[in-house]
Amino acid sequence: GDSVTQTEGLVTLTKGLPVMLNCTYQTTYSPFLFWYVQHLNEAPKLLLKSSTDNKRTEHQGFYATLHKSSSSFHLQKSSVQLSDSALYFCALSEGTGGYKVVFGSGTRLLVSP
Amino acid sequence: DAAVTQKPRYLIKMKGQEAEMKCIPEKGHTAVFWYQQKQSKELKFLIYFQNQQPLDQIDMVKERFSAVCPSSSLCSLGIRTCEAEDSALYLCSSSQRQGLSQNTLYFGAGTRLSVL
């Protein structure tokens, strides 16, 4: 079945440094990838999404590029802020109009002053 | 931003008691999902409704939960007999049906259930 792997459970960084959160996936369908962010005691919300191969998608300073050749959709930011501390989920949806969304295990990003 | 409302925010039950939580999907959204999140970790899929009909659910939900969407503007998730392992944050999300695979899921803030 479909799966999403996020290798880091916790990433700790100092404010101003760059970050990359890893996401790889497995599917036999045409993939639609998402990044959701969940701040403490808040609902998860969409950060960005893509189904276009090799095209960079950006939102709120974060960016990701879907690479179908390597089945990856890593999330990056050039300079993290304290407010970026949150739980980040990578998610996969079948690109065939299906309803299933598979979530990764999540990566907690902690940014210190 | 879309708004999904969940009530109550917090629920405390004794082991063996029944629990019920409600969700008001975003207006116009016909797909509703419930997820379980333990200790701020991964989201576990529980059940999916399309136009108020349950189309997919995991075995745990079939065996111990009750989930319905009596109208397009209200869904509920119940636990018939709470167990300690049910302590978690229950998240409801909704989405537009058309082109479902590419549609964003909009989440409520969740109901945090504690089973003592």
Contacts of A45 in chain B (CB under 8 A): 1, 106-107
The answer on pLDDT for A95 being more than 80 is no
Mutation choice for B interface testing from A41, A99, A100 by most B CBs within 10 A = A99
Q: Are B105 and B97 in contact (CB under 8 A)?
A: no
Is B101 in contact with A32 (Cβ distance < 8 A)?
A: yes
Is A105 in contact with B42 (Cβ distance < 8 A)?
A: yes
Mean pLDDT, residues B20-26: 96
At residue B53 the predicted structure's pLDDT band, cuts being 50, 70 and 90, is very high
Distance CA A102, CA A58 (A): 22
The letter for the amino acid at B7 is: K
For chain A, the average pLDDT equals 93
For chain B, the average pLDDT equals 91
Is B110 in contact with A106 (Cβ distance < 8 A)?
A: no
Range A76-79 contact pairs with CB under 8 angstroms and sequence separation of 24 or more? A76/A18, A76/A19, A76/A20, A76/A21, A77/A18, A77/A19, A78/A18, A79/A16, A79/A17, A79/A18
Is B43 in contact with A103 (Cβ distance < 8 A)?
A: yes
At residue A97 the predicted structure's pLDDT band, cuts being 50, 70 and 90, is low
In total, the C-beta contacts within 8 angstroms joining chain A to chain B are 65
Residue-level pLDDT at B101: 62
Percent residues over pLDDT 90 in chain B: 75
Is B31 in contact with A99 (Cβ distance < 8 A)?
A: yes
The answer on pLDDT for A96 being more than 90 is no
Residue-level pLDDT at A93: 87
Mean pLDDT, residues B96-110: 80
pLDDT in tens, A48-74: 999 999 999 999 999 999 999 999 999
Mean pLDDT, residues A85-99: 84
Chain A residues whose C-beta sits inside 8 Å of any chain B C-beta: 32, 34, 36, 38, 41-46, 49, 51, 87, 89, 93-101, 103-106, 108
Residue-level pLDDT at B103: 80
Distance CA A27, CA A92 (A): 9
Distance CA A15, CA B42 (A): 26
At residue B54 the predicted structure's pLDDT band, cuts being 50, 70 and 90, is very high
